Amino acid sequence: MSVLGWIGTGVMGQSMCMHLMDAGHKMYVYNRTKEKAAPLIEKGAIWCSTPAEVAGNSEIIFSIVGFPKDVRETILGENGIIKGAKPGSVVVDMTTSSPKLAAEIHKALGAEDMESLDAPVSGGDLGAQAATLAIMVGGDKPVYDRVLPLFKIIGKNIALMGGPGAGQHTKMSNQILIAGTMIGTVESLLYAQKSGLDLGSVIKVIGSGAAGSWCINNLGPRIACGDYDPGFYIKHFIKDMGIALEEAKGMNISLPGLAMVHQFYISAAALGHEDLGTQGLYKVLEKMNNR
């Protein structure tokens, strides 16, 4: 079994790390808030005080943090992975982050005889808990092949999409699609609710037809019962859409639908909903229509 490191034990990271531990791997962990790593520590994970300390004890180091600035600090910062990792180590960043940063990290680690993969995931907290995540990987194939057995413990649909940054570009495509789908989901359910229909029954019927999607079938029931806890934070989705729009600008392409949806999510944050799950967009739409 491998000696692994895990940095970022939040909504998704904790479950993902737990699956690897359940498979018998020794684990060193770090999180900015130690309390969030408590279940892993109780199970036998070894706490470290910095990402560099995690890296110094691990063969393969996983990270899933919040924003690109957190990725940069975690991997390339003063107390980052690069300062502690040994030659031959592999760094796998599973944060949804910037493709350009992924390429920069690959180059910086390569100069120190270390390897890296960008491997963002899709599936939210439910996918993390069930170990059914989609994992989109960018990097070199020999490194991907080395890490693939570990990916298979936490995900089901796993693919090497290309070189450094390709995993992040694939995740941007994923987020662009989900962004628009979420608007359709909340508008559909508000219409049903205002029509006097039972939301659970509506979701069951339309979710099995041509309108079926992950959003309606997984987040729709949460909306129906008033559960807005984050499987994926609104604030993180705003971050993702910002990255996608920046990348699109660099490619000289226009994504008007994404730009419009981005403003809707920003409105949600302005109303104080940034720490809700993305299904919290329903509350924004509800407020707009209850004036």
Q: Measure the CA–CA gap between 18 and 25, rounded to whole angstroms.
A: 10
CA distances from 247 to 87, 244, 250 (A): 32, 5, 5
Residues in contact with 41: Cβ distance below 8 Å, sequence separation at least 6, in sequence order? 29, 47
Asked if 238 contacts 228 with a C-beta cutoff of 8 angstroms, the reply is no
DSSP assignment of 226-288 equals T----SSBHHHHHHHHHHHHHHHHHTT---HHHHHHHHHHHHHHHTT-TTSBGGGHHHHHHHH
Q: Are 62 and 94 in contact (CB under 8 A)?
A: yes
In DSSP terms, 133 is beta-bridged to 155
Are the C-beta atoms of 137 and 167 separated by less than 8 Å? yes
* Residue 171 annotated to the active site: yes
Please report, to the nearest 10 degrees, the dihedral formed by the alpha carbons of residues 227, 233, 238, 241 taken in order.
-100
Q: Which of 34, 171, 249, 283 is catalytic?
A: 171
Which residues belong to the active site? Answer: 171
